[in-house]
A and B are shown apart, each in its own frame.
Chain A
Amino acid sequence: MTDSRPCQLHPQSMCPAFGSLRVLTRLEGSHPVMATDTGCLYGLTFVTHFYGARKSILAAHLGTAELMAGEVVENTRAAIEVAAQEPGCQLIPVVSLCVAETAGLPEEMLPTRVGDAEVVLVRVPAYAIHSHPEAKDVALAALLRRLGEPEGGERDAKTVVLLGEVFPADPLAIDGLLRRIGVEATIALPGRSIDDMKRAARAGALAPLHPFYKETMAAFRSWDIPIVGGAPVGMSGTVSWLKAIGSLLRLDLEQVNRVAEEERAQAEAIIKAQPLAGRVIVSGYEGTELAYARLLAEAGAEVPYVSTSIAADPLTLPDEMWLRNNGTKEIVYRKSLEDDVAALDKYPPDLVLGTTPFCAIAKERGIPAVYFTNQLASRPLFLSGGMAATIGFIQQMINRSERYEWIQTFFEEEDFVDQGEVPLG
């Protein structure tokens, strides 16, 4: 932590509750019901229909009249009944937000099952959960506690649960590599399948790819499923992760080492072929920023500053230690816009990976910047393949600095008409 953080005025996070809706709307057969006021409902439905799923969302109307008349529970129950009529409905998550939580929505007043559908209460008031990744955790843990079937069959000792929403091709690549070291199957959570939730409770190990799944990890611990630390990001991260899985699942260590060394060699070749050069600031909402920063630093970039919306977590510690030993000067949790802008002044970068307000400020200064969530979550990250994709993209962005400067000058200087050629980068 730095000695003097700037004044914290504008905390940066998507509405935390969005994280839960993202997870809950993408499940096949899941039809969420929201309990909240209209402003909240409008905003969360808006972003869910942009980033979550093309799924109609039901809610209990919750305004002064309903609150005064004590109809919160009654209206929520009525919405649950309607949701149960959706074709193929197997799950009705009831998403309870700030106003409903303040008014009180007692779980025992809601049904636990309607028709074929499980009804699961998910409490995600934004005033208590401070970032949207953490709300993903709350939602997933609530579902797993209800749906997980630890006694539903034999323990699949060589199945690994990959935990974290990642680029769709990443779990395939990881699965392929894990099979080579003797893992028999993987389950990716959160995903689209309710059945995966049920059988995840019988897996051999849990591998969190993202560092904010506290409650979900607690659910797996309650089923005596061991947890693998770290994530297969970057060169050293991938090698130690593979070895950890190998020893946890008692796989053939010779084979594990062989595969791990092949991965290392591939990663080394990638970095050698296209080493990064330049200074990058990494600032996001998601909790994955530290892993990204580590990958960039391994590839040769200078990453003086990393910030995230989540709180510090034991799972971020290995990346944090590694970064501090490799040139990162500041790592900020629960960051505000002011933290990021101060870093922009302190470490003038060649590229910013940031939130939309922060990227806009960087672009106003003629610095290349991209929205972390949209641009990085849409690319592979893991293993050597993810490394290649990420490094290529980052270098391309760094090389575009002249264009960012050109456009900035065009808009800032009144008499700027045509100062030479438009840069090609």
Chain B
Amino acid sequence: MANIVRDLADSSSYWAAVWTICPLPDVHAICDAPIGCFNLVATAVPDYTDAIPHIENITPSVITEAEVGEGTAAAVKRTYENLRDEGYLEGKRLIVISTAESEMIGSDLADLVGQLGEGSTFFHSESLSDDEWLGRDRVLQWLWETYGAEPAAALQVEPGLVNIIGPTYGCFNSPSDLLEVKRLIEGAGGRVNLVFPFESRLAEIADLARGQVNVLLYKEFGHRLAPSLGQPWLHAPIGMRSTTHFIRQLGEWLGTSDQAAAFIRQEKASTLQAVWDLWKGPQGDWFPTTSIGLAGSRTYVEGLADYLGEELGMPIAFTAPRPRQPGDLDNIGVRSLLHAGAPSFVFGSINEKIYLSEAGARQTHYIPAAFPGPIVRRATGTPFMGYRGTVYVIQEIINRLYESLYTFLPLDSGYSQGGASTQPGNLPWTDEAKATLDEAVAKLPFLAQISASRELQMRVESEARARGEVEVSADLAAEILASRNGG
């Protein structure tokens, strides 16, 4: 069976390497790449994932036809010399990173880097076989082993210190999630030590050894590094129960259980009060009929399925976690599900958004929850993780339901058609025609059915009148309703 990809959701380990290494400000990277692999990873895409103009501490070797024929060593060496001569490398360590193309032409620069200034290293990114998640996992471990483990031998664990492993560039919504996880750690009685790699320097990687506990921000990577640090670790939480468990567990490990318990009590009376109020109010009544589709990182998909599905009781229409494991939906599967009938909400990437557009699913709300796709997520008030995340996510959902309700309210047609409609009331429908209408409406998300039923009815009747009919027949209804997606 041939392996076909539709709208790839996961990048490669080369991207992972650049996006993990370049946040370290005391590194300069050379990517052994054609111009495209440099531009996409360092400018064109991070413009729209991380909202940065470009990644500054990376330079390409610029593979051209000459390098494809003769190897890239000379180009990398020339790039190094130019960087050195121009002063780019002052106070920095050089890391050379392979790409799919340099691997394709068999360019292994492990020996060459020895000639490129003291301490220069080569990271073979395995870009032809590994995805971005494996790649991040491997490069974090490699950074620790290459730059951290040895000096770390002289360091002691300090009680109360907690490391956060992740994010890197290209991690959806990370500024908000990171801030919330820091808040939870402090609430539980801990102190944040290193945020690796996003707020770290290469020279201080050894400091990871001082952490008493490690928090993995994501389920997708960091699982090689965390155990090798020798201290207990846990995942960052999504949902009310998971967050409560996270705070309790941290308190237990840090010996601050009382403080953790007090923090949970205080949060229930403040931050989480919003979820309680919305549950008690009319908004909560919509939850059982608000169906949710989830595509994105495993962290987000499993976390939201747990919170929205298990805790709040919303029907989960499908889940498509990445990286995919055997049995998980791929994009081909997600696309055919959405074409057949979309849920009330889809959390996902631009891929799902495109599938909704193809399906004409205008009644479905799309909420960005994953890359790929251009989105600014630099405000720190939009977490999905932690207690604040539970409030933010439910607030987003309810506000979009309000938006639906608003668009359902009738607008006097006088404003759009240059004069109020003088059309008479309803036309009679045959039983078969009515059944056709019911069937079309039933395919739509629940809340949307109210307005859609009226809107479709009016459209069919208006066409019937235009054709001089005195009754709506099944054939006419079917014809008009079939053209629905074009409208």
Contact = CB atoms under 8 A, between A and B. Distances in A.
Interface in A72-89: 74-75, 77-79, 82
Contact of A9 (B6, B64, B79): B79
Contacts of B14: 39
Contacts of A66: 3
A50 B63 contact: no
A238 interface: no
Interface stretch (A96-104, A260-268, A325-333): A96-104
B372 interface: yes
A10 interface: yes
A15 B129 contact: no
Contact of A130 (B35, B100, B374): B35
A44 B8 CA distance: 10
Interface residues of B, number: 62
A272 interface: no
Interface residues of A, number: 59
Interface string A54-78: 1111111101111100010011011
A55 B351 CA distance: 9
Contacts of A64: 128-129
Contact of B8 (A41, A47, A99): A41
A201 B6 CA distance: 34
A37 B105 CA distance: 13
Given A39-B99, A357-B54, A102 B12 contact: no
Contacts, number: 193
Contacts of B82: 7-9
Q: Per DSSP, are chain A's interface residues mostly helix, strand or loop, or mixed?
A: helix
B70 interface: no
A16 B101 CA distance: 15
Nearest to B3: A61
A147 B34 CA distance: 31
A130 B4 CA distance: 28
B40 A57 contact: no
Interface string B31-44: 00011111111011
A80 to B, nearest CB: 10
Which among B35, B67, B354 has the greatest number of chain A C-beta atoms within 10 A? Answer: B35
A55 B355 CA distance: 9
Contacts of B289: none
Which among A55, A63, A66, A360 has the greatest number of chain B C-beta atoms within 10 A? Answer: A63
Nearest to B12: A39
Contacts of A78: 2, 4
A59 B5 contact: yes
Interface string B73-103: 0000001001101101000000000011100
B390 interface: no
Interface string A7-37: 1111111111110000000000000000001
Interface stretch (B45-53, B143-151, B426-434): B45-53
28 contacts: A11-B38, A11-B62, A13-B36, A16-B35, A16-B36, A38-B11, A38-B12, A38-B100, A39-B15, A40-B40, A42-B12, A42-B15, A43-B11, A49-B351, A50-B374, A54-B354, A56-B335, A56-B354, A56-B355, A57-B6, A59-B4, A61-B5, A75-B3, A78-B2, A82-B4, A102-B101, A127-B101, A357-B43
Interface of B: 2-8, 10-15, 34-41, 43-45, 47-48, 53-54, 59-60, 62-65, 67-68, 79, 82-83, 85-86, 88, 99-101, 104-105, 127-129, 131-132, 335, 350-351, 354-355, 357-358, 372-374
